[in-house]
Structure formats: structure tokens, C-alpha cells
Amino acid sequence: MTIQWFPGHMAKARRQVQEKLKLIDVVIELADARIPHSSRNPMIDEIVTSKPRLMLLNKADLADDKKTREWIQFFQTKGIKTLAIDAQSGKGMKQIVEACQGLVKEKWEKMRAKGVVSPRAIRVLIVGIPNVGKSTLINKLAKRNLAKTGDRPGVTTAQQWIKVGKELELLDTPGILWPKFEDQQVGLRLATTGAIKDTILNLQDVAVFALRFLSTHYPVEFKERYQLDEIPDEIVDLFDEIGKRRGCLMGGGMVDYDKTSELVLREIRGGKVGKLTFEVPSDWENSHT
């Protein structure tokens, strides 16, 4: 299976980001704490040159805490200011306004030197892949539900400015992917965590990837969730065991692999299996980040 999802609205959203850039003081890049590398759009580095950047690893409540700390360290050593947050509860978000103020300090000082008494609100562009929590973050910062959110990718379809007190003006944007995943592991990780529309995916292939990953990297949590004594070597046996235990059956008592795939992906995405991170910095040490 080759995974690809770059519909017309994303190409348009990318153009609109480029058009707005000259208005922007700070770029907040929202990545998914469960896949901090695979959820970074390589196009952002091409489009957003020479703007102060803040990196937020969102959905940290669903990610492996130890690995999140490793990722923060990884980005910080590359000179990218990075915070781990949970935009749904607001955890970790206190530092965001202060971080943005720090990032415009020099620019503001220059403005003051030119005689501007009180500089305007900081204009912040929020970018990231679909479903990563951009609109949720904005609503939390604004303390009002002004941006539409939803548990599927592609909810925001147009840009929207939202004010946060006197300090910030945030630009919400539609989630953007890129035309080609060089590495299909990236596509599978994005599909597993819910950044790609399910209707264009072969969910069984995605579930095979996810189950193999859990078997190798989180065997304790995995066995506990699905009450497995041992993890079978053959993937089909694993599907059969989970499908039977959880009642994902067709007529005649055969296991329904589609239903089983939907169930395990829903549970993995919802954090039911545990706090999971699907990649570590050493997987990507030599890449562009």
C-alpha cells in the first residue's frame, strides 16, 4: 500500500500560508508528541524561512513521557525552542505566551528604538498536520471555543484570526500534509495516529503496522490490553486472537479483520493501550531536522 493524501484544499492552504507570512511575527509549529519527526511537514522549513519558531509537541498525554523528554532535548540541541503540551487539558501551555514574547523581543526593541511606544499584539501563525490539535490549542489559549475542532483530519478548511487577550493574535490554518512521503513508514505512522483520512486508507495494512510495532516496543501494555498470554508470531493469529476476544466476528464465527483493524486503531489513537511513542530521535539522527 502506498499512502498519499494531498488534496487540492491542502495545496490551497499552503499557498495561503505563504501569502500571510509577511504579516507574521512568530510561527508555532504543532507536531504530534507520538511521532515528533513524522508529523513535521518538510514543506514548512521551505516556506517559513527567517521567522522565529516555537515547536510544540501536542497530545503529550498520549505519548511516552520518557521519549517526549528525549525529543525535546533533540530539538533544543538543534536550536528549536520546544515545549510538550496537552492542548485538551491545557497542561504545559502556561509558557507559550512568554515564549512568544521572548521570540519577538529583538524585533520589538527595534520598533521601540524607532519610536513605537507600545508594539501591537504578536501575530502568530499556527501550522501543522491535520488533526494534530491546532484549533484545540487556539481555543484553549483564547479560553473560548471560537475555532471548530473534531476528532478527524480536515476539520478546519479556511484560515481564521483569533485574538488572545492583548498579547496575541493567532492565525488558525487547515492541516497540511505534503505531496509525497519519501519513507512509507512516515505514512504509516501518520495513518496510525489519525492524521490521514481513514476512507483513503487500507485500515488492515495500517493495523498490521501498528500491531507489529506494539508487539515489539510495548509488549507489556499490549498483552495487558488484549489479555494475551503470549504474542503470536504470525500476524494473522494475532488478529484472530484479538478479534475473538473483542467480538469482531462475521457470520459463522469467523474473525472480521476490518472490524478488528478499526477497533485496535481506535483504541491506540484514544490512548487505551497506553502512552505510546512510535519513533525515537536515533531513528532520524541523520535527517534534515
Ligand X SMILES: Nc1nc2c(ncn2[C@@H]2O[C@H](COP(=O)(O)OP(=O)(O)OP(=O)(O)O)[C@@H](O)[C@H]2O)c(=O)[nH]1
Q: Which residues make up the interface to Mg ion (CB under 5 A)?
A: 134-135, 155-156
Question: Which residue in the set 16, 88, 159, 160 belongs to the binding site for ligand X (CB under 6 A)?
Answer: 88
Integer Cα distance of 57 and 63 in angstroms: 10
**Residue 131 in contact with ligand X, rule: CB under 6 A:** yes
CA 136 to chain CA centroid, nearest Å: 12
Instruction: Give 127 or 214: the residue with its C-beta nearer to ligand X.
Output: 127
Tell me the window of 81-89, 179-187, 210-218, 277-285 that interacts with ligand X (CB under 6 A): 81-89
**Residue 124 in contact with ligand X, rule: CB under 6 A:** no
Question: Which residue in the set 125, 132, 190, 268 belongs to the binding site for ligand X (CB under 6 A)?
Answer: 132
Where residue 255 falls (left for φ over 0; alpha for ψ -120 to 50; beta otherwise) is beta
Angle at 135 between CA 59 and CA 182, to 5 degrees: 65
Question: Which residue in the set 38, 39, 41, 58 belongs to the binding site for ligand X (CB under 6 A)?
Answer: 58
The answer to whether 72 touches 82, Cβ cutoff 8 Å, is yes
Q: Quote the least distance from Cβ 86 to ligand X, whole Å.
A: 4
**Cell 501536542 sits on residue:** 58
Integer Cα distance of 182 and 230 in angstroms: 35
Binding partner of 90, given Mg ion, ligand X, none, CB within 5-8 angstroms per partner class: none
**Residue 39 in contact with ligand X, rule: CB under 6 A:** no
Binding partner of 52, given Mg ion, ligand X, none, CB within 5-8 angstroms per partner class: none
CA 141 to each of CA 17, 119, 128, 192: distance values in angstroms, whole numbers, following the listed order:
21, 21, 17, 28
Instruction: Give 175 or 243: the residue with its C-beta nearer to Mg ion.
Output: 175
Question: Which three-class secondary structure state does DSSP give residue 234?
Answer: coil
Instruction: Give 32 or 279: the residue with its C-beta nearer to ligand X.
Output: 32
Question: Which residue in the set 22, 114, 151, 286 belongs to the binding site for ligand X (CB under 6 A)?
Answer: 151
Binding partner of 154, given ligand X, Mg ion, none, CB within 5-8 angstroms per partner class: ligand X
Question: Which residue in the set 38, 39, 82, 135 belongs to the binding site for ligand X (CB under 6 A)?
Answer: 135
**Residue 265 in contact with ligand X, rule: CB under 6 A:** no
Residue type, position 18, single letter: Q
Per-residue cell: 201:
486508507
Integer Cα distance of 3 and 176 in angstroms: 15
Per-residue cell: 162:
483569533
